[in-house]
Structures are given as C-alpha cells and as structure tokens.
Chain A
Amino acid sequence: MKKPFTPRVKRKFLGQYRPRSDGREKASGRALYADDMTLRRRFPDLLYARVLRSPHPHARILSIDASAAEAVPGVRCVLTCFDPEVRALRPTNAGWTDGVDTVSYETMMWRRFRDRRVLGDTAHWVGDEVGAVVAAESEAAAEEALRALKIRWQKLPFVLDPVAAMQPGAPTVHPEIAPNNILPEDPVGGPDVFLNKGDVDAAFAAAEVIVEADSVHHNPTQGGLDPWCCLCHFTDDGLTVWSNSYEADQTRMYLSQMLSLPLHRVRSVHEFVGGQFGSRDTGDQPFFLFTALLSRRTGRPVKFRYTRRECFHDSRQPAIYHAKAGAMRDGTITALEFSSLGDAGAYADHTMFALKFAPIEVAETAFAHIPNVRCRSLAVYTHRLPGCMMRGVGNSQFNFSMGLLWDKLAERLGMDPIDLVIKNFGHEHEGRPNRSLQAVLAAGAERIGWKDKRHPPGQGPEVGPDRRRGVGFSFHPAWHAEWQELRRGEIQVGLTLNPDGTVLLEAPTVETGTGSNMCNILGCAEALSFLGIQLEDIRFANRVDTATSLKDCVQTDSAVAYLQSEALVEAARRLKAEILSRASRKLSVAADRLDVRDGRVVFIDSSRPDAPLRQVLMQPDIVPISVRLSRPPAAERTGVPYIATFAEVEVDCGTGKVEVIRLAVVNDCGTVMFASGAEAQQVGGQCIGLGEALTEEIVYDRASGQPLNFNWIDYAIPTMADMPDIDPVLLEVWRGAGEYGACGIGEGTVTCAPRAILNAIYNAIGVRVDELPARPEKILRALGKA
C-alpha cells in the first residue's frame, strides 16, 4: 500500500524524488574511498603498519624482545610501548568528542574517563591494540614480524559479565578510575540519578496500576563495508593524513593536540566514506597516532587498515533496563522510572552518553507532561569489546525498554497502546494530543493494517501449521531539531558566483552515504532560485581537505541534511546583496533600484529593459563573487517531531523462527529535503534494525574471553533475501526553525525496529522474549519448548 509523499509546500528543488548527485560516480565504481586514495601506486615508497592485538582478555606486557621481528625481511620499524615517543603520548578517551564539535584535549567530552593508552602495556580485552606496531614493505611482512615478537605476558584475571563485574572482589579493569568497575559520576554525564522530576515514590504509592518491564539490549556492530583505513605522511610540511574518518576538522585537532603539532601543520584529507552508522569517531583514532609516529620514524608514508575482523571493534553499548510505570485506570500515566546498567566494555567511550543523554532528551520532549519521572544509570567496565557510538546511540536501548513498558501497560489497562501513547505523550511546547505523534501513529496503523490484524496476544488465526502472525509498533521522539544542535557550534558554508552564472558550493562534510550532500546541493539551488540556475550549474566538491576547506559539519545526529542548508539560505541573501552592489557599480544605478530575478538584473520602477546577470558580470572587472559565513544553529525551541515503526511478523512455533512480513517506517520530517534519499534512509535503516532484532550478536567464549564471530559468516547481517516488504512513509506535520524547518531522520529509522518487531512477536505467540536478538532458541524457550 505504498503511496508517494506529497510535499506540504511545493518548491522548485526540495522535497522531490530524484537521483543522487553522486549516483553515477558511485555506480560506475569511480568514487574513491580511503583505501583507494592510498594505493602504493600513488605512494611508491609506502609502508604498511600492523599492530599487535592482545590474545588475552586481561594481561600486562612485562617485556618485548623485538630483535627477531626487526630481522624479518621488509621490516622497517618496530615501535613498542617501551619507546619514549609512545610513552610520551597522553592518556585519552575513546570518545574524545561527542562527535559533533571540535574540542581540545583539555575540553574533551569525557575527561574523567581518560582510560586509553595509545599502544599501552596492558590489554583490557581480547583484541586490544597493545605493545607493539610494525611498519614493513608489505602487510604480510608486518604480520610475520608481529608473530616473531617475543613477549612475556602476565595474564591477569578477567570479568565479562557486567553484573559480576560489580561484585566485591571482581577483577578490575581500570582500578585508577573505577576501583569497583562502576564508572564514577562525572561532570558531563551528571549523577547516577540524572533525572528526578516530581515525587516519583509518592506517585507510585498513589497509582492505581503499576507495571514493570525488564529488557536487555546487546552489542550489535555498525558493519559498514569500508574497512577503517588511514595513511599518515610526515614531511617537512608537517603531517598529512588520508582516512575514512568522518570528522575532518576534529581529526586535525586531535592529531595536533596529541602530537603537539600546530594546526596548520596537520592536514586531514577525506573523500567518500563507505558507511558510518556511528563508527569512525575519534574513539578509533589511537591508530592514527601510532601510524603517524611510524611515518615520523621512517620518513615514509605509512598505511594502516583494518581487517574485517578488526572492523568488529566498534559496537553499540549493551544495556540492561528495568522500567516501571504507574497509571490511573483511565490510562493517565502518573509516574515513570527507568534504571539501566550499561556495559562499557574495556573503555568508557560514550557509554554515559548512551545511558543518560538519550533518556534526558526523550524525557524533555515525550515525557514533558508526565509529572513524576526518575532515571538512574550505572555503567561498569568489563573485559569485553568497548561499546561506542552507533546509529541511534542510546535511543535504541531506551526505546527497546520503553516500548515494552507501554505495550505491557496498555494490555493491563485494556487499552489499545496507540490510544495510551497519544493520551500521554507530546512535548513541552504543545498540549496533548500532539499532532505529530497522532499523524505518525495513524499513518503507521493504516499502512500495517493495525485495526484488522491486531488481536489479543497469541490468539490470532494460525496462518499455517503452528505458524502465527502478529503486529506491533514502537514510537520515539525524533532527534535532532536545530535547537538540539547548539552544542555543535558554528556551521560554515560558502558560495561563489562565477561571472558566467555558475556556482561553487562549499558545504564541507564527509560524505558517508547519508545523502546530506544532495540535500546541500538542493538547499543551495533553492536558496539561489533568483539566479535561475539548475542543479547542474552548481559545482560541489565531495573531498574535504583541512588545508583548503572550511570547518566540516560532522555527520552525526543526521543533522547535516538541514544545518548547512539553513546556513546557505543566509549565505544566499548575502550573495544577492553583493551581486546588487557589484551590478550597481557596473551599471551606475543605485543598488536599491536593482533586483535579481530568475537570472536577470531587473531595474525597479524603470522602463529600462532587464539584463541577463551573466552579461552584467562579464563586464570588467570580471571576478567571481564570494560569500563565506559561520553561524550557530538556530536556537528557537520548536519541540521535536515523532517517528514510529510498525511491524507484522510470522512466528513458526515449531522452530522458533521469526519472519518479518512487513515494516512500515514513519517519519515526520518537518520538511522533506530529498524524498528519494529520505526513503533510502527509512528503508535502509531496517538492515540494521532487523539485524539487531533477530540475528546479529557478538558471541564470546566465556571461559577464555575470546569473541568468536568477528566475521560476516557467523555474524549474520541481513541480505536482500532476508528483508521484508518495507513501506517508507514521509510526513510533514511538525515545523522546525529556519527557512526549511527540517529535522534529521536517518538515525531514528533504526531506533524503533527491534521493539516493534518484539511487540509483534508477543502479539503473535502470547509470550515475550525481551532479550535481543530474538533468536529461535529464545522463542522456543519462551514457548516452553526448549
């Protein structure tokens, strides 16, 4: 029942279905990624780096004898944790920034948790990069050198389970920071009870109905296809880095601060990036540092790239949630309480962001009308893969908990959960019912056939032998509206009008696939409509190079799609003023008697005929007209729009296998900038959402601490044959700030899928599985069959 989206306001360029600007380049294989930019053909004296990875979950290196490694043919440098330039590197945090703003060492986000040594002497999980790194003429030689290292390890006791890690006497991960493995309160994340509104205990005491819900979210991995890769080259000019990090300006700052180089001596170059999904944050950049040190030592360009196994070193933070709701019998929710235990793994990274910031944003918006709310979070270190940013950071875990709570509460109250949600949630700037929330849920319900297909849990018609179907949904307040992006700092853009009427657009951001560049081109064309230009008249460089580019807008919060476009609106106004001033001089007419419309200079209140702008500009002095500006996002508090995912599933009660039949993904976008790209985000997000709901899971051997499935055979990412029918629904109900009033949508498309699918499973079979992923054995266990 797919229906194309129709824009609320018809515009010349925005809000339409059209091909991507980079489609041809990518489809023909001509687009260059980091590994392509750094082939030996381009750098004939290239060396390759490989780093030692700990085979032990917790161990200290007592000594390293590198003599045999250095003797391996082709080896040019072995750097160890005992070398002075390695030891001189300051401890850092894997989550240096919150991914949006450029910060210094002193102002890094998680200053309390500087728990990571670059190439340290102690391993905190199997796979930790420690001890030694080798530069050689080939990766094979570097690997052979690593095998030739004679290392004395002191194996130490380890703990994998977050609950066990909190017990007295448990092995500690970073005793200097967390003596009992529990991350201490810190100035950024705030106290453990980070939200406490009203009188929660009194409200629970007075509530007529109370339900509780427990859920466990695991650590799926981002799984971008493009393996991490960087090439560092020290020359007399300083350090140049080619990489597939998505943060150009921040990478420059990071390297400058950690290596004590002035900013103008660090150059960070980025072309296309093969998927991000939250990874490629500064958290992964310790390898930039030792690669740079190897280049400084050898005087040659040094390349370091991850194997696929190493690409698994990024993942979502697992979280165990306990949720509780108090309500009156008419469905009015009076009290909410959420307690979470996060597993930080070996390094704190953004764990506190995931545990605290996402619930705070939801509480600020969706829970604005709930009088009593309390949220408490603890995070613990374990000797496991560290969690980091992943698409929908924190929100996925929180949604998985709260979507269960609403489903259980509605069942207890005998209400349709859609009615319960609409009755209680909205945002602080609008009363209830909230129009955006209503529209999103109505659209989802219609597309999935909610009224016809929903039935009491487990009581649907059998659609085959022992096969039952069910429907479920989950909703979430979208993030981020422009006012939520203020922490990002200033957005920089530039416009240059050539004398022939063509345009050079500067809106630097590292293109990771989201379509934000296309949004910028469309936003630019729309703002420059007075020039009478077409898209092909705009030149836009995908490359970001800190030696020449403005500060890049970081690809997080799905917000680039509108942040730069809004700045371009202002740049276009200034450009127009510049054009009029120039035309005024050339034509000897006062600027306020001139206008530019549809590419022509118009004489106001004059019978003088229009002149093509190009003809005016081509008269001496012939120079391009440039405007560059830097401005913060709009602070106008516009609330937020809503998103929802509806799912229909079929469960085989004999095997426990779940098949998702259909997903309806609904986003209120405020304004749809680029309909084809927005749909691609909605449809595409389900590859991650479905995977983390049903199949994707990192498995450990508990006895040895070894992760067992860091490959794409045993870690099952959905293929085309696994995907259900997906109905992407774009709406424009809410209105954000600025000319276009859009909102980021990409991240949220992942957020609601797991809970929608698991609520649908409950509707189908009448028993719940609330630990992800919902693999067949868990379904069978819930059915009492295993």
Chain B
Amino acid sequence: MASPRRAARRKASPRRTRPPRAAERAIVFSVNGVEVRRTLGRDAPAGMTLAEFLREELGLTGVKVACGQGACGACTVLLDGRAVLSCMMLLAQADGHAVTTIEGLPADDPVIAAFAEQCEPGHGTALQCGFCTPGFVMTAKALLAENPDPTLDEVREGLSGNLCRCGCYPGIAQAVLQAARRRREGGAK
C-alpha cells in the first residue's frame, strides 16, 4: 500500500509514462540541489546502490568505489549533511533525502582548498594518488559541521573509517585542522 506522500510524488512526476507496477516504486530525492526522480524496477534496478547510481547514471565520478564493502570510506557522500557510505546504501534509501557529493561543494570550499594545499613541513601532503581524497573530504565536511573546532585526536578518530593506502594520514589531519581554522575565520561553510 503506497503512502499518500509517495502517491503524490508519482502524480507529480513528469517522467511517468505509465503507473508504477506492484514491483516498482517511485522515489524522489535531491543530488547537489537538483531534484532526481526515478522509478525503481523500471528506471533503475531495485538492488542498485546509491554509489552506482551516482557514478553510472549521473556521472558523478568524484564518488569512488574502492571496496564495495563499506570498509574504506572512498564512496562517502553527505545525506542530509551526515556522512554515509554510498556503496552500502541502496538507491531506494535516498528517497526523500538530500544527497551531496564532492561535485556539489563550492569551488572555494575550505576543506578542498586545505587538502589541495597542505604542505606544512613534517606532515607530507594530504593526498598522493588522490583516489581516497573525495571520501576524506566529505567525511571531513561532516565532521567539521558537527565539531567546528576538533582536536587532533578527534580528527584521527573521526576520519578512522577512511583508508588512505598512500598513508597521507598526518597531512590529511593537518588539512582538516587548517580547514577548521579557515571555516571559523571565514564563516562556516
């Protein structure tokens, strides 16, 4: 039995060519501020992950899939501002939510800038191969939104769900602390 809310969405959908069948389900959510409507079971397989949808359907390749097991954090996106692993979420679970990928961050985002520019001596750079970087940036965004002035230990704990095999952890920690300073100085972003 479809909820009235969902039924209303279906009605509003301009993509609809026929009513959804029993095995189908219409979903509406936003990605980087743009509304997305799909009917699961028709436009996309019901088992499709959010990561696959973002990459393959929307071409948002800043979302990386390194493990597909929820173990590395490379696929991290924001769901209503919270960091989530998009490889461990079904597309269906995005229904009614706001998804932000790294492509949705502004060009002058202080976290991106801090990761790009880290060269404080003694810590190395904040990225090398760069494959894990978007995931770290998104996790750091969520961390700083929750805790605008984290200690080094809080950064280490907060980012311990992300793997960087190039091992840029000290540079990443510096970048996050630097981004926190810039956010506080420039007004939170």
Q: Residues of A at under 8 Å CB distance from B?
A: 2-5, 17-20, 22-33, 35-36, 39-41, 140, 222-227, 272-277, 307-308, 512-515, 675-677, 679-688, 711-713, 717-723, 726-728
Interface of A, secondary structure class, is loop
Out of B66, B122, B126, which one reaches A227, CB within 8 Å? B66
How far does the Cβ of B178 sit from chain A's closest Cβ, in whole Å?
12
A765–chain B nearest beta-carbon distance, Å: 27
A-contacting residues, B97-142, CB 8 Å: 101-103, 105, 107, 109, 112-113, 115-134, 137
A712-B125 in contact given A32-B61, A308-B66 (Cβ < 8 Å): no
Task: Determine how close the nearest CB of chain A comes to the CB of B60; give it in whole angstroms.
Answer: 8
Q: Which of B13-21, B88-96, B155-163, B180-188 contacts A (4 or more CB under 8 A)?
A: B155-163
Known interface pairs A28-B112, A723-B169; 17 further A-B residue pairs with C-beta atoms within 8 A, sorted by A's residue number: A19-B125, A28-B105, A225-B72, A226-B66, A227-B65, A308-B68, A308-B69, A676-B121, A677-B124, A679-B121, A680-B124, A680-B128, A685-B167, A686-B167, A720-B155, A720-B162, A720-B169
In the bound assembly, the distance between CA atoms of A273 and B165 in angstroms comes to 13
State whether B167 touches A683 (Cβ < 8 A).
yes
Q: Bound state CA distance, A721 and B158, in angstroms?
A: 9
Contact (Cβ within 8 A) A26 B130: yes
CB–CB B131/A680 < 8 A: no
Q: Is the CB of A308 within 8 A of B130?
A: no
Q: Which residue of B lies closest to A730 (CB)?
A: B121
Judged by a CB distance under 8 angstroms, whether B55 is at the interface is yes
Q: How far is the CB of A535 from chain B (nearest CB, A)?
A: 13
CB within 8 Å for A18 and B119 given contacts A27-B127, A27-B137: yes
In the assembled complex, 17 residue pairs joining A and B whose CB atoms fall closer than 8 Å, in A order, are A3-B122, A4-B121, A19-B118, A28-B102, A32-B61, A140-B45, A225-B72, A225-B132, A225-B165, A275-B128, A307-B68, A308-B66, A308-B71, A513-B131, A679-B124, A682-B124, A726-B170
A29 touches B137 (CB 8 A): yes
Q: Is the interface of B mostly helix, strand, loop or mixed?
A: loop
CB <8 Å contact, A680 and B166: yes
Q: Which of B103, B165, B169 contacts A277 (CB 8 A)?
A: B165
Report yes or no: A683 in contact with B168, Cβ–Cβ below 8 A. Answer: yes
Say how far B131's CB is from chain A's closest CB, in angstroms.
3
Measured in the bound complex, the distance between the Cα atoms of B132 and A223 in whole Å is 12
How many of chain B's residues touch chain A, expressed as a range? 35 or more
Asked if B71 and A20 make an inter-chain contact with CB atoms under 8 angstroms apart, the answer reads no
Contact between B102 and A680, CB atoms less than 8 A apart: no
A31–B103 Cα distance when bound, in Å, is 12
Chain A residue numbers with a CB within 8 Å of B102 are: 28-29
Using CB atoms, name the residue of chain B closest to A749. B167
On whether the beta carbons of A720 and B172 are closer than 8 Å, the reply is yes
Q: Which residue in B71, B126, B129, B169 is a CB contact (below 8 Å) of A712? A: B71
Which of A41, A684, A726 is the one whose CB lies under 8 Å from B128?
Answer: A684
Q: Is the CB of B129 within 8 A of A23?
A: no
B160 and A721: CB pair below 8 A?
A: yes
Whether B128 lies near A513 (C-beta < 8 A) is yes
When the two chains form the complex, which single residue of A35, A308, A676, A720 contacts B125, counting CB atoms closer than 8 Å? A676
Tell me, rounded to whole Å, the shortest Cβ–Cβ distance linking B61 to chain A.
Answer: 4
Rounded to whole Å, the gap between the CB of B103 and the closest CB of chain A is: 6
B45: min CB distance to chain A, Å: 8
CA distance A18 to B132 in the complex (A): 21
Report the minimal beta-carbon distance from B136 to chain A, rounded to whole angstroms. 9
Residues from chain A with Cβ under 8 Å of B67 in the complex:
225, 308, 711-712
Min CB gap A711→B, angstroms: 6
Is B59 close to A, CB under 8 A? yes
Q: Which residues of A contact B45 (CB under 8 A)?
A: 140
- Decide yes or no whether B164 CB sits under 8 A from chain A: yes
Chain A positions within 8 Å of B61 at CB level: 29, 32-33, 35-36, 39
Q: Which residues of B contact A (CB under 8 A)?
A: 45, 55-56, 59, 61-69, 71-72, 74, 101-103, 105, 107, 109, 112-113, 115-134, 137, 155-157, 159-173
Task: Find chain A residues with CB under 8 A from B161 CB.
Answer: 719
Judge whether B165 and A687 touch: CB under 8 Å: yes
Give bound CA distance, A445 to B163, whole Å: 31
Q: How far is the CA of A28 from the CA of B68 in the complex (A)?
A: 22
Q: Are A512 and B129 in contact (CB under 8 A)?
A: yes
Measured CB to CB, the nearest residue on chain A to B131 is A274
Bound complex: CA A726 to CA B58 (Å): 40
What are the 9 A-B residue pairs with the smallest beta carbon separation, nearest first? A29-B62, A513-B129, A274-B131, A687-B167, A26-B130, A684-B167, A680-B124, A23-B116, A712-B71
**What is the bound-complex CA distance between A26 and B127, given in angstroms?**
8
Shortest Cβ gap from B163 to chain A (Å) = 6
The distance from the CB of B183 to the nearest CB of chain A, in whole angstroms, is: 16
A675 and B121 contact, Cβ closer than 8 Å, known pairs A33-B131, A39-B59, A720-B160 = yes
Instruction: Decide: A28 and B116 in contact? CB cutoff 8 A.
Output: yes
Shortest Cβ distance from B55 into A: residue: A39
Chain A contacts for B124, CB-based, 8 A: 676-677, 679-684, 728
Please state if B121 and A677 are interface contacts (CB–CB under 8 Å). no
Residue of B nearest to A224 (CB): B165
A191 to B184, CA, bound (A): 66
The reply to whether A28 and B62 form a contact with Cβ atoms under 8 Å apart is yes
Shortest distance from the beta carbon of B58 to any chain A beta carbon, whole Å: 9
Smallest CB–CB gap between A361 and chain B, Å?
25
CA distance A274 to B163 in the complex (A): 12
CA distance A676 to B172 in the complex (A): 13
Which residues from B are CB-within-8-Å of A39? 55-56, 59, 61
Separation of A175 and B171 alpha carbons in the complex (Å): 50
- In contact, B165 and A717 (Cβ under 8 angstroms): yes
Contacts of B160 in A (CB 8 A): 719-722
Please tell me which one of the listed residues B103, B117, B169 contacts residue A687 in the complex, with CB atoms under 8 A apart: B169
* Distance in angstroms between the alpha carbons of A353 and B45 in the assembled complex: 48
Given A24-B116, A720-B169, A680 and B125 touching (CB < 8 A)?
A: yes
Task: Write the chain A residue with the least CB distance to B169.
Answer: A720
Please, how many angstroms separate the alpha-carbon atoms of A20 and B105 in the complex? 21
* Chain A contacts for B171, CB-based, 8 A: 680, 683
Q: Select from chain A the residue with minimum beta-carbon distance to B58.
A: A41
Chain A: minimal CB distance from B87 (Å): 10
Chain A residues within 8 Å of B165, by CB: 222-225, 275, 277, 687-688, 717
Which of B71, B101, B109, B167 is close to A688, meaning CB atoms less than 8 Å apart? B167
A677 nearest CB neighbor, chain B only: B125
User: Which residues of the other chain, A, contact B109 by a CB distance below 8 angstroms?
Assistant: 28
Q: Within 8 Å CB of A31, what residues of B?
A: 130
Give the Cβ gap from A22 to chain B, nearest Cβ, in Å.
7
